[in-house]
């Protein structure tokens, strides 16, 4: 195992919680050795482990019913992987520490506009284990489904989310759902609002090139970070109990500059390799992104939409460029390949 003293410090000496962002067994073992206490998965990551590490999953795949198709087949494959890991991390979950010992399973990305469909599928995924976190998209319909799931006491995370308006809408929905749960004597589950900080940078970089915006690459790689820091400040002010989750990171700075925050950080293996073991052990969540960087980014209308709390309405979330890109990847590199995965022949 490659030891990372920085990650071990962050997870043992600060409020920050580390979840591993991959479903490949060897990577999961290394991450948990460095302080990870949970896992994020999505259809793309499930497909990646089943196709690249088929030997490990062969015995579990052989136990699946033959002749499955559509959602039933994809859900069986997702359960094959997430069910295994949910059992693996169950001892951590059973310790009862907030935010620790969970594994994510995501609903069908082909249905990001169908709230009722997502609610029903969320119930199915949640029934697999008490430490499953169901991932729903931060679209208008997805947030409607999210609130209902919170009210029913499910563990839920709003993903396909890149902006301050999206995570604030999720935080508000969680508050409403928690109040409904309490009124009905239901114990709320774990609530998470994801912000895919690196994927926002990716999108804004292309927008900047296309529009000739007067920003530098050094500005672009701080855009998602700036949005996350702003959202965190607002969450703290409003007293939201929902955990923010930085995800889709592209550089070490997107973890290091958030260290010390009461967040659940989704960190992929490629990012852990970029975080040097001897990185200064400093809590930097309260260090703001430089004002001149924000000023240059604010010349881009798409950044303003992402950064300002009222930059978008809920109805606009599904049309945001980064939303379309990411949904497409989850569909065409994740869910649909799983639907075509020939597990019967393995």
User: Taking Cα atoms as reference points, which of 189, 88, 200, 176 lies closest to residue 130?
Assistant: 189
In this predicted structure, what is the pLDDT of residue 71? 96
Residue 282 domain boundaries: 5-198+228-288+318-338
Q: For residue 190, tell me if it sits in a domain.
A: yes
Q: For residue 185, tell me if it sits in a domain.
A: yes
User: Taking Cα atoms as reference points, which of 254, 245, 87, 261 lies closest to residue 156?
Assistant: 245
Neighbouring CB atoms inside 10 A of 84's CB total 15
The set of residues, in sequence order, having a beta carbon less than 8 Å from that of 312 and lying 6+ positions away, is 163, 165, 166, 305, 320
Q: For residue 300, tell me if it sits in a domain.
A: no
Coil vs helix vs strand at 38: strand
- Between 1 and 66, the higher pLDDT residue: 66
pLDDT confidence tier of residue 1, bands split at 50, 70 and 90: low
Report the CATH number that the domain containing residue 184 is assigned in CATH: 3.20.20.70
Coil vs helix vs strand at 103: strand
Q: For residue 85, tell me if it sits in a domain.
A: yes
Bridge partners of 297, per DSSP, are: none
- Cα Rg of the chain (Å, integer): 19
Burial (CB < 10 A; 0-12, 13-18, 19+), residue 66, is exposed
Q: For residue 142, tell me if it sits in a domain.
A: yes
In this predicted structure, what is the pLDDT of residue 141? 98
Counting the structural domains of the chain, the total is 1
What are the start-end ranges of the E strands in the chain?
17-20, 38-39, 102-106, 132-137, 156-159, 191-196, 243-247, 264-267
In this predicted structure, what is the pLDDT of residue 114? 98
In this predicted structure, what is the pLDDT of residue 308? 98
In this predicted structure, what is the pLDDT of residue 280? 98
In this predicted structure, what is the pLDDT of residue 46? 98
Residue 131: pLDDT over 90: yes
Average pLDDT over residues 59-66: 96
In this predicted structure, what is the pLDDT of residue 256? 98
Q: For residue 268, tell me if it sits in a domain.
A: yes
pLDDT in tens, 135-151: 999 999 999 999 999 99
| Length of the chain counted residue by residue | 346
Average pLDDT over residues 68-90: 98
Q: For residue 113, tell me if it sits in a domain.
A: yes
- Answer yes or no: are the C-beta atoms of 190 and 155 closer than 8 Å: yes
Q: For residue 69, tell me if it sits in a domain.
A: yes
Mean pLDDT of the chain: 97
pLDDT in tens, 291-339: 999 999 999 999 999 999 999 999 999 999 999 999 999 999 999 999 9
pLDDT in tens, 36-51: 999 999 999 999 999 9
pLDDT in tens, 234-252: 999 999 999 999 999 999 9
Bridge partners of 191, per DSSP, are: 156
In this predicted structure, what is the pLDDT of residue 75? 98
In this predicted structure, what is the pLDDT of residue 279? 98
pLDDT in tens, 201-218: 999 999 999 999 999 999
In this predicted structure, what is the pLDDT of residue 140? 98
């Amino acid at each position: 195992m490659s030891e990372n003293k920085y990650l071990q410090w962050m997870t043992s000496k600060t409020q920050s919680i580390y979840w591993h962002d991959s479903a490949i067994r060897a990577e999961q073992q290394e991450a948990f050795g460095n302080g990870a206490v949970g896992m994020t998965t999505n259809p793309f990551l499930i497909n990646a482990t089943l196709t690249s590490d088929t030997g490990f999953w062969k015995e579990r795949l052989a136990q699946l019913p033959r002749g499955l198709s559509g959602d039933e087949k994809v859900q069986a494959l997702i359960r094959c992987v997430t069910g295994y890991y949910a059992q693996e991390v169950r001892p951590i979950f059973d310790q009862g520490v907030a935010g620790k010992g969970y594994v994510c399973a995501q609903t069908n990305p082909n249905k990001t506009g169908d709230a009722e469909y997502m609610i029903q599928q969320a119930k199915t995924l949640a029934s697999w284990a008490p430490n499953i976190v169901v991932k729903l998209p931060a679209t208008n319909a997805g947030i409607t489904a999210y609130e209902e799931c919170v009210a029913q006491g499910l563990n839920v995370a709003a993903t396909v989310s890149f902006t301050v308006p999206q995570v604030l809408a999720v935080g508000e929905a969680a508050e409403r759902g928690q109040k409904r749960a309490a009124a009905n004597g239901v114990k709320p589950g774990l609530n998470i609002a994801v912000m895919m900080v690196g994927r926002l940078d990716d999108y804004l970089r292309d927008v900047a090139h296309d529009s000739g915006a007067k920003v530098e690459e050094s500005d672009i790689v701080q855009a998602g970070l700036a949005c996350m820091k702003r959202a965190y400040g607002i969450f703290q002010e409003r007293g939201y109990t929902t955990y923010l989750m930085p995800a889709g990171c592209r550089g070490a700075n997107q973890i290091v500059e958030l260290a010390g925050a009461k967040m659940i950080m989704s960190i992929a293996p490629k990012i852990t390799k970029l975080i040097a073991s001897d990185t200064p052990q400093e809590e930097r969540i309260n260090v703001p992104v430089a004002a001149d960087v924000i000023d240059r980014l604010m010349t881009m209308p798409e950044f303003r939409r992402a950064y300002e709390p009222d930059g978008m309405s809920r109805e606009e979330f599904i049309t945001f460029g980064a939303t379309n890109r990411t949904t497409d990847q989850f569909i065409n590199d994740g869910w649909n390949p799983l639907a075509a995965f020939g597990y019967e022949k393995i």
